[in-house]
Every structure is written in structure tokens, then in C-alpha cells.
Amino acid sequence: MRTLEQTIDEILGLAATHFKVPREQLSPHDDFFKKLKIDSLQALELLTRLEHHFSVELPDYEFQGVSDFRTLAERIHTRL
């Protein structure tokens, strides 16, 4: 069973790889729209990546209003 911190770490790693950003530049409280310079559709693409990685289905609406990695991780973590 992953801890929340592990989940956050894996999300940051996946986001860095997917959007080609150095991992060390990302931190849990970052606004991922700003930090990754992405729009809401690209954020949904990231969500699909995360679904595959964590083997869970994440409804789009669950992530409405979420903009930082930590909250994103918390929402995913409750489904693991």
C-alpha cells in the first residue's frame, strides 16, 4: 500500500516525464497549470496517464477545481 507521499512523488515524476519538465522543479503545492504551462485539456491527458499508472478510473468531475499536485494526489489516493 502506497503512502500519500509516495503517491505525490509518483505523480510528480509522471508529470515531469509527460510534459518534459525537470523533476526537481516540481513540488507538491505547485499549481500544475502554471508550472507545466498546460491548459485543462492537457491536464486531462495527464489524468489518463495517472489512471494507467495507478490502475484506477478517475472521473473527470472529481478533478474539477483541482490545480495543485497535492490535492490531485489526495483525490487519487482515496481511490487506491
Partner 1 sequence: MLDLRQYTSLGAALRDALERWPDETCLIEADRERENCRLTYRQFKEAALPLARALQDLGFQGGDRAAIIMTNQSKWLISAYAVFYSGGVLVPLDYKLMAREHLQLLAHCKAQVLIVEHHLWRVITQADGYRDFKVRTVLVTEAPAKMDLAGARRWEESRGSAEPQFIPRAREDVACIVYSSGTGGRPKGCALTHENYLEQCVALTALYPFWPGVRYLSILPTNHAIDFMVGFIGPFTCGATVVHLRTLRPEYVRDAFPRYRIAYMTLVPMLLKNLERGLRAKFGALAPYRRFLLHWLIRINRTLVGDRPNLRVSRVLLRQVHQAFGGELRTLFVGGAFMDPSTLQFFYDLGIPVANAYGLTEAGTAVTVNDFKPFRADTVGKPLPGMEIKIINPGSDGVGEVAVRSKTVMSHYLDDPELTAETIKDGWLRTGDLGRIDPSGHLQLFGRVKNMIVTEGGKNVYPEDIENAFEGLLVKELCVFAANFVWPERVLGNEKLILVVRLEPGNEITDALLNELSSRNRRLPDYKRVNGYVVWDEDFPRTASMKIKRGVLAEAIRAKLDRQSAVVKL
- Residues of the shown chain interacting with partner 1 in the complex, contacts defined by CB under 8 A: 31, 33, 39-42, 44-45, 47-48, 59-62, 64-65, 67-68
Q: 2, 34, 62: which is closest to 15 by C-alpha? A: 34
Which grid coordinates belong to 65? 477545481
Longest dimension (CA), the chain: 32
In the complex, the smallest distance separating the C-beta of residue 6 from partner 1, rounded to whole angstroms, is 25
In the complex, the smallest distance separating the C-beta of residue 8 from partner 1, rounded to whole angstroms, is 17
Whichever of 44 and 80 has its CB closer to partner 1, that residue is: 44
Phi, psi for 27 (deg, rounded to 5): -135, 160
Whichever of 10 and 51 has its CB closer to partner 1, that residue is: 51
